[in-house]
Amino acid sequence: MLIDVRDIADRRKDFSFNEDLTLSRSGIDIPCTVAVTGQVYKANGDYITEGSIKAVLNLSCDLCLTSFKSELDMDLNEVYSETPDPDKELWELSDKTIDLKPAVIANIMLSLPMQVLCSEQCKGLCPKCGHNLNDGDCGCDRGYVNPQFEGLLKLFNDE
Ligand SMILES: [Zn+2]
Ligand SMILES: [Zn+2]
């Protein structure tokens, strides 16, 4: 995702990239297909990129491990400088070339939730047999205590 800014001068320059990337989140690979389009222009010596990032991510659910696709559509607004000011959040560019990829990856990573779930109601896996509980119950006893024995257990615990 490299943009040569040598010929920019006063005009806006279009860019468009399609690329397959593999992101890494907590050691887990996330393959994704990314389409980045937009324009770059020069302002006060810096280079401004404006556009959009469209991505299809192949995620897997943190609870039930099922893989699913998730689509992202977001704005791309980044500033590139040849002399970045450490107080400002600017990207550095060298050799009159912008490399959009780190910014695109950072934007996608920031949009991912702390916990990736296939759905809000995901029931996860049975801790006993590993059955995907979204597909129905497996019949395992997962900590259920028969009320008949509850009094008995209390006796033991009180001793
Ligand atoms: Zn799930
Ligand atoms: Zn089970």
Same domain, 40 and 115: yes
Residues 16 and 79 in one domain: yes
User: Based on the domain organization, do 115 and 150 belong to the same domain?
Assistant: no
Q: Tell how far the Cα of 132 is from the centroid of ligand 2, in angstroms.
A: 8
Say if residue 57 is in the same domain as residue 115: yes
Q: Are residues 32 and 99 in the same domain?
A: yes
Separation of alpha carbons 69 and 57, rounded Å: 6
User: Domain of 78?
Assistant: 2-121
Q: Kindly give the distance from the C-alpha atom of residue 111 to the centroid of ligand 1, in angstroms, as a whole number.
A: 19
Same domain, 106 and 131: no
DSSP state of 85: -
Is residue 76 domain-shared with residue 6, that is, in the same domain? yes
Higher pLDDT, 38 or 89: 38
Mean pLDDT for 22-46 is 93
Quick one: 11 and 88 in the same domain?
yes
Assess contact for 126 and 133: CB atoms under 8 A: yes
Q: Name the residue with tokens 């005009």.
A: 11
Question: Quick check: 31 pLDDT over 90?
Answer: yes
pLDDT at 156 over 90: no
Cβ density class 100-111: b for 16+ within 10 Å, e for less: beebbbebbeee
Looking at the structure of the chain, the number of domains it has is 2
pLDDT at 149 over 70: no
Ligand 2 mean position to 125 CA, how many Å? 8
Q: Which helix (H) or strand (E) holds 154?
A: helix 147-158
Same-domain check for residues 92 and 152: no
Q: How far is the CA of 42 from the centre of ligand 1 (A)?
A: 45
pTM across the whole model: 0.78
Q: For residue 70, what pLDDT band results from cuts at 50, 70 and 90?
A: very high
pLDDT band of residue 27 (cuts 50, 70, 90) is confident
Q: Which ligand is nearest to the CA of 116?
A: 1
